[in-house]
Structure 1
């Protein structure tokens, strides 16, 4: 179906920071499958674990214990502040699970469930998650929307006073709004949000589908804030390209999911959880978080230098290797198309924001090559 606005490329091969099309053209990939191939394309460590698992077991029902699933759950709870994990197949499914768990909390207290999210957020395209998404363009054409959601402006401290009035069951947010323009949450705003939520006994749900698995410089973005969420959702980078999602929760709320309350046929299958476990192990065992910090500083400084030379670039922002360039013209798509001509793949985050998501394994030399290609694209876009 015509659900994607595709670029004129057919990708047939990927390795590391590069992909090749069906004509043999090699592209430097600064999209990482939209923050999914965090270790680059076809990482050997993950590939070897998957090849071994392919010889053992592909699928078994969740009616039985699954060893890779148990190992990944144990690893995730070890490196986070959460107690239990539910596995699914995508970020939208993880957010659906979080919404259900929040509603279970409200119903257990005989309260009307209400979830507050933020304008320009993005939480998925299922009916519940597109309703949670604070963007009218995502919701248009799919009414009636799911009941039980209110919206507030992002990073607006005064607007948080509405939480005292509404007293929601939960507040759901991204710590860097990815699709909404690569906008990091202000630490003072998060501090006030946490204070109000604690006072009102509102759960905090953090959507780390795009920001998780090292993307922002720590394993999870919430670890850069004075914040311990009650629920967190992850996906994208967890499986290095294999479809996997997860909802993590603290025990005071996770107990509300009992047998039969939620499920997924393919969720937590042996192949996906093997990919997830080996991805996490590689990041932790190779000090990749330190490397991410170094590459982020290098790339950001080079982008700031570029921004000073082009009057249509207003700001370089983001965290780690999730970086956005805010423009004062709606030419982000033009820059993307010109980049393709220069054998470089990048993304937009709205008509006036360029989004960069290089692999977390990107080298210094590849960043310099990116700058060379990117400047050619900017010059061409400027003349359009």
Structure 2
């Protein structure tokens, strides 16, 4: 009784192993029994059984209208021309700072106040020179009248004229110095001389850096603030090599950040760098159509570019296969022979892929279903 049980168990195990072995052999049949044409590395010859197993079908190059949505990603940056360093024209002590890092400011807003006795001296020099100029003007006019009646020599008149011109030039210079530190010389008098000057914002924007503190003495060359003008926000986007020819200057795009993917803003491609980097991508630069505070320097952003519909030549997606970053199709040579041909692809949609310069495929039968299986057979051959 025990012997019978063992015999039945052994027989069952042998049948199972035989069944598994049969399935594995059947799975290998398509690849191991594949015949390859001698001297043609990219050509494969199938048996009728293999053709039926793979389910090969063929198609041909087709003309059709195609659209393409290209997705890009990158970072928001600020154009160097819109990053400004602000300093004081003259040295002094920081009396007060009216902004903080990241704060928004408007054009003409007082960012800081600087104090120093030299501001008093400059205003004093202006008022003294102004008075001296008036005296020199009167003296020159008097000497000119005396010279007309020969009561004064030409030399005396010329000296008076030179003194008047010198005082006038000195006053103009002092007036300009006062202007650039924010003091209106026209309204200056002995009753409103001040020891402080204001540092004004040259445009509306955001504070990027504050490099001083209250009480610190600054020199004219010292940078007080680094300011960002958001009007100079640029979007640096990466373009994959396959999409480079589709991205053009002037194209309208939609951009958004990862935090708010449903909030999309309009932008326009303003530049495309004509070179492919080591990572296999090029760079496009876009600019927002209007200032948007949602986008800040350093933020990762995404973009969508809708390529206009165009009439072109293409093949069904499954007819195009990729290997080692190159694209191929298989031509049906007849008599169960199939040849792998390299192609350059363009735009693609859910069903078709554009074939660039596809005239050489005209009137050729191209494998549609089963193209990937043929690629695997060639890879198996190479191994």
TM exceeding 0.5: no
TM-score, length basis structure 1: 0.20
The structure that is helix-richer by fraction is 1
TM-score of the aligned structures, taking structure 2 as reference length = 0.20
> Which entry has the higher C-alpha Rg, 1 or 2?
2
Which structure has more RCO (C-alpha within 8 Å, separation ≥ 6)? 2
Give the structure with the higher percent strand. Answer: 2
